[in-house]
Structure formats: C-alpha cells, structure tokens
Amino acid sequence: MANISIAGVTRSYGSFTALHGIDLNIADQEFMVLLGASGCGKTTLLRLVAGLDQASGGRIKIGERDVTDLPPRQRGIAMVFQNYAVFPHLTVFENIAFGLRMKKLSEADIKSKVNKAAELMHIEQLLQRYSGQLSGGQRQRVAVARALAMEPEVLLMDEPLSNLDALLRLEMRAELKSVLRESKTTTIYVTHDQVEAMSLADRIAVMQGGRIVQCADPVEVYRNPATRFVGGFIGNPPMNFLPGRRTTGGMEVAGQVIPGPASGTPVFGIRPEDILEAGSDGLQLTGTVRVVEPLGAHLLATLTVAGELFRAVLDSDRKIAPGDSLTVTVRPDRIRWFDAETGLALPA
C-alpha cells in the first residue's frame, strides 16, 4: 500500500515561509496533481516528499513508514525532473538501468526490466544512443522510463511536459496518462498548466502562497471553486467577476437584482461558457463589445459590462462587431458567489 500522508508540513527559509502547514492525504494508486502559479510552493512540497529537501516541521508518511528523516534512496520513490536530468555520459540503456544496478539486480533481470520500460515509452530503438543525440521529447521519455523501471511505490513528476513544444506536449500527455494508469503507481504530478491538471488528475490540489486552497476532483474544482483565486486560475478563458451590492430583495449585479447569499460582501462569478442565448429565463447582462476573437471552435467576445471586462463564449456563426451592444443570459445554476474580502466561496 503506497498511500501518502502529509501532516502539518512546513518549510521556511529564514524569515520566509514557503509552505504553511500542509495537510494532504493521497490514496494508494491515486494520481494527485499539485497545481498553482510559479512560486506557490508546489515544487517545494514535491521535493520534500522526495527527500531532496528537509521539512522545517511536520511528518511525511509513505504507506506505514514515516519517511520524514529518510534520504531519497530509502523512500521507495522515483522522480522525473523538469529538465529530465538524463546522464549525458551513459547510453539510454545504462540510464534506465542505473537505479536497477544500484539495487544489485542480476544482469538478466536488469535487461528485462530495461526493455520493458523502453517498450512502454516507445524508445526501444534508442537504447544505445547517448542523450546528446536525442531530441527533447526523446530525453523526456528516457527520464520517465528510468523512473518507471524502478517500479517505485510512489512516482513524483516535476513539470515533466513544460519544456516540450505544444503539439508534443499534447501527445505526451495522452501517452503518459495511459502508461501511468497501467502501472498503477501512486503519483504526485506538479504543473502550472491547468489543462494538464484537468486532463491527468484523479484529484487536483490547487496551491497558492504556500497553502492548499482546494483539493478535489477536476470537475468539482472547475464547477465549484473554493475561492475566487481558484475560479480565476482554472478554466481558459477564466471566470468573469462582477461586483455585487446588497439591496432589498437580494443582490444587485450590473443593474439587475437577483437572489444571492445571505451574508458577506459578495462578488458575482460566472464562467464565459455558462451563458445562454438571450431570451431565456435568468439574469440578463448587457454590455458593449470591445474585442471579438474568432477561435475556430467558438467566438470569444470581450465586453464591458457595468464598467468591468466580461468574456463570453458564443457560437462561431454569430455575427457581432466591436462597438455593438450585446445581451447575454447567464445560466442561473452556474452562478458562483465569492466574498470580496476573503475570496472564499459563499453558499448561495
């Protein structure tokens, strides 16, 4: 059983605290993604689980073992680094075999495990090459194969796809997902790309400023963001926010009064794609079109609604131009409210 328990883990550098009391439980074979912007602490947390860094406080357990004070080689982990860290002075075969040789396995064992890992990552034909002769994508496969060959309890991945070009990233994402599903290994995956997170994760832990802001499955994080930050970070284009004012009968948003939360100073949130054709029942928002972006699959219109920028995803056949007045109806079940001060989601 390779479940991971992170309890009260902190990491400080002098007066700067990178991680504030992180509590996270990852189930056996779960694919957990740590998602956040640069500097939020996700790589720091990953390195603490790996043992490459020492926590300032808290305990980390893998399975039943407390690994907080153990070096990386005794934790049963394998890691894929952002820059691949493929050993330049060894062939691909020797790279993948490196960890197996350290375990002192028999030559036959090593050969079979290396070949198996190479087949998984489709690099059997590259086994005798050196890393200098490989492309970035091939090196990345070597790095993953090297980690998988170890058959670890826990697989740790630090933004492995971020150095690849867009098309390659798309292909590798799908490949990784199927390979890792088959290997049934508990995985922690760090990324700043929310599309990667949504696509790969069983659960996403969104991090901000050294804290976990929300930890739930991708659809839940998308539909019911716990804070305004999560709402704005996940989803492309991001969620729209309009200020609300409490009046008699409910909340006033962009001149309309709708039912809203009972307390707090609310901010109105709605995703650009959660709008309906004008004329349906619900909150109607009117604004002036500023920018029209035909993106092929749909039209992205940026409007000014009550002085704030508002994005709407419209059907690609719609004919509008900058300067037009546009009215959109908002899906009432997708409206989200956030507190203006704390940013926390307010129950409707």
Residues that bind another protein (CB under 8 A): 50-52, 71-73, 77-79, 81, 83, 85, 87-89, 98-99, 102-103, 146, 150
Q: How far is the CB of 152 from another protein (least distance, A)?
A: 9
Q: Is 98 helix (H, G, I), strand (E, B) or coil?
A: helix
By C-beta, is 49 or 251 nearer to another protein? 49
Which residue, 51 or 218, is less far from another protein as judged by CB?
Answer: 51
What is the rounded CA–CA span in Å between residue 345 and residue 232? 12
CB of 50 to another protein, least distance (A): 6
* Smaller CB separation from another protein, 155 or 305: 155
Shortest Å distance, C-beta 251 to another protein: 51
CB of residue 37 to another protein, shortest distance in Å: 22
Please spell the DSSP secondary structure of 9-76, one letter per residue: EEEEETTEEEEEEEEEEE-TT-EEEEE-STTSSHHHHHHHHHTSS--SEEEEEETTEE-TTS-GGGTT
Q: Are 49 and 60 in contact, with CB atoms under 8 Å apart?
A: yes
Q: Are 32 and 201 in contact (CB under 8 A)?
A: yes
In the beta sheet, which residues pair with residue 266?
A: 339
Least distance from another protein to the Cβ atom of residue 98, Å: 5
- Do 79 and 157 meet the contact criterion of CB atoms below 8 Å apart? yes
| C-alpha torsion 257→261→263→268, nearest 10 | -70
Nearer to another protein, 98 or 256 (CB): 98
